[in-house]
């Protein structure tokens, strides 16, 4: 055999071995091929639930979502989190309607108003899709359960805290997320009832923020212009107190203004630490999300669940803050 043919022979064998190895390797890959995670989850998941908040990218709602996702992961549920980019009744209702049309196994959402939300919730429940209200109840609807803050009581707590912190002397302005949403109305009502018999406390203005921080800022600014006698603010939704604090820091250097807000987002705690916000009403958004998913599973399994579960609500002031915020569960 010539040298050339020996070389060709060896090269041929090497090529043959290499192609055999590729064939074995890729053959193995095809046989043991894993489906994309999404599909895999769909196959394993027992239920498909949807959580629909009034505003998708609101940090408060992201905490509710975190809780719901933790439970969904633990109990093999496919959880969809969807809703309006910015708070809007029509978009919210449309999303609920579309989820029902997609025949999901359960809908968790707010019962924002009896007029608009209850008829839709009733229709969906009558069709056999369970609905749980979270954070805000439509108590007269056919929703199967509510989990969230006692919104009236939380407003009442805020009123009592304001009385204690101002020694019963204050001209109060309220910035509320909305005049027509159940939770906001109940918080304002609770607050009013708490201060009702206090001679030294007057409500001098009340404005709507549409749960927008920028709007809360604008309204607080406007109030300070029109009502220089204001000495205290109550913000009834998560971004209201933050909007007010920004205005007070920027434009109110002389007078001391008391602020009580809602929730414990990172920015709220920053303002509490600085002393711009004196107190906040803390809710349990993570727990609401987690327990809502658990309750929905129980409903699907035919178990009985309580029709109302109120999660904890408390007042937090600067002294209640631990040195590092990361230590507090459910802060975003």
C-beta of 55 vs 208, nearer to ligand BGC: 55
- Residue 332 contacts by C-beta under 8 Å, 6 or more apart in sequence? 59, 60, 62, 63, 66, 265, 266
Q: Please report which helix (H) or strand (E) contains residue 208, including its range.
A: strand 201-208
Pick the binder of ligand BGC from 105, 135, 137, 284 (CB under 6 A): 135
Task: Kindly report the backbone phi and psi dihedral angles of residue 147, in degrees, each rounded to the nearest multiple of 5, phi listed first.
Answer: -130, 125
What does the alpha-carbon distance between residue 72 and residue 79 come to, in Å, rounded to a whole number?
A: 6
Q: Which of 137, 263, 284, 287 binds ligand BGC (CB under 6 A)?
A: 263
Q: Does 239 bind ligand BGC (CB under 6 A)?
A: yes
Query: Which residue's CB is nearer to ligand BGC, number 231 or number 278?
Result: 278
Beta carbons of 220 and 97 less than 8 angstroms apart? no
> What's the min distance (Å) between Cβ of 187 and ligand BGC?
8
Residue 173's nearest CA partner among 51, 261, 94 is: 261
**Based on the number of CB atoms within 10 Å of its own CB, is 323 exposed (0-12), middle (13-18) or buried (19 or more)?**
exposed
**CB 111 to ligand BGC: min, Å:** 11
Smallest gap from Cβ 275 to ligand BGC, in A, equals 22
Q: Does 259 bind ligand BGC (CB under 6 A)?
A: no
- Give me the torsion for CA of 212, 218, 219, 225, rounded to 10°: 170
Q: Tell how strand 77-81 and strand 232-235 pair up.
A: unpaired
Q: Tell the smallest beta-carbon distance from residue 104 to ligand BGC (Å).
A: 22
Which of 47, 58, 71, 159 is close enough to bind ligand BGC by CB under 6 A?
Answer: 58
- Is residue 262 at the binding interface for ligand BGC, with CB under 6 A as the rule? yes
Q: Is the dihedral of CA 216, 271, 280, 52 positive or negative?
A: positive
* Touching ligand BGC, residues 162-221 (CB under 6 A): 177, 183, 211
Answer for which of 99, 141, 237, 269 binds ligand BGC (CB under 6 A) is: 237
Question: Closest CB to ligand BGC among 239 and 247?
Answer: 239
What is the three-class DSSP state of 317?
A: strand
CA 212, 217, 219, 220 torsion-angle sign: positive
Residue nearest to ligand BGC (CB): 238
In whole angstroms, the minimum distance from the beta carbon of 135 to ligand BGC comes to 5
Specify the stretch interacting with ligand BGC by CB under 6 A; choose among 97-105, 235-243, 266-274, 294-302.
235-243
Using CB under 6 A, list all residues that contact ligand BGC: 54-55, 58, 60, 135-136, 177, 183, 211, 237-239, 262-263, 283
């Amino acid at each position: 055999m010539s040298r050339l043919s020996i070389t060709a022979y060896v090269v041929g064998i090497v090529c043959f071995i290499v192609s055999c190895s590729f064939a074995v390797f890729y053959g193995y890959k095809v046989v043991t091929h894993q489906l994309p995670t999404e599909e895999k989850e769909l196959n394993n998941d027992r239920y498909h639930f949807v959580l629909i908040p009034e505003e998708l990218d609101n940090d408060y709602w992201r905490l509710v979502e975190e809780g719901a996702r933790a439970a969904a992961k633990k109990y093999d549920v496919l959880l969809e989190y969807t809703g309006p980019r910015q708070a809007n009744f029509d978009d919210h209702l449309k999303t609920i309607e579309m989820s029902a049309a997609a025949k999901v196994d359960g809908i968790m959402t707010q019962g924002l108003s009896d007029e608009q939300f209850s008829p839709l919730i009733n229709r969906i429940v009558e069709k056999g899709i369970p609905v749980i209200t979270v954070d805000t109840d439509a108590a007269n609807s056919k929703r199967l359960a509510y989990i969230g803050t006692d919104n009236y009581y939380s407003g009442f707590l805020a009123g009592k805290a304001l009385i204690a912190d101002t020694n019963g002397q204050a001209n109060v302005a309220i910035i509320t997320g909305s005049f027509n949403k159940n939770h906001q109305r109940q918080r304002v009502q609770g607050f009013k009832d708490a201060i009702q018999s206090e001679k030294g406390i007057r409500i001098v203005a009340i404005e709507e923020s549409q749960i927008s921080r920028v709007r809360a800022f604008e309204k607080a600014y406007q109030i300070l212009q029109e009502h220089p006698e204001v000495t205290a603010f109550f913000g009834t939704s998560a971004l209201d107190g933050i909007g007010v604090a920004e205005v007070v820091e920027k434009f109110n250097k002389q007078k001391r203004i008391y602020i009580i807000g809602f929730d414990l987002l990172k920015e709220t705690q920053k303002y509490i630490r600085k002393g711009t916000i004196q107190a906040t009403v803390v809710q349990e958004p993570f727990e609401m999300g987690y327990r809502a998913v658990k309750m929905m599973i129980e409903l699907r399994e035919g178990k009985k669940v309580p029709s109302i579960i109120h999660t904890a609500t408390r007042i937090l002031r600067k002294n209640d803050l631990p040195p590092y915020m990361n230590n507090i569960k459910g802060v975003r």
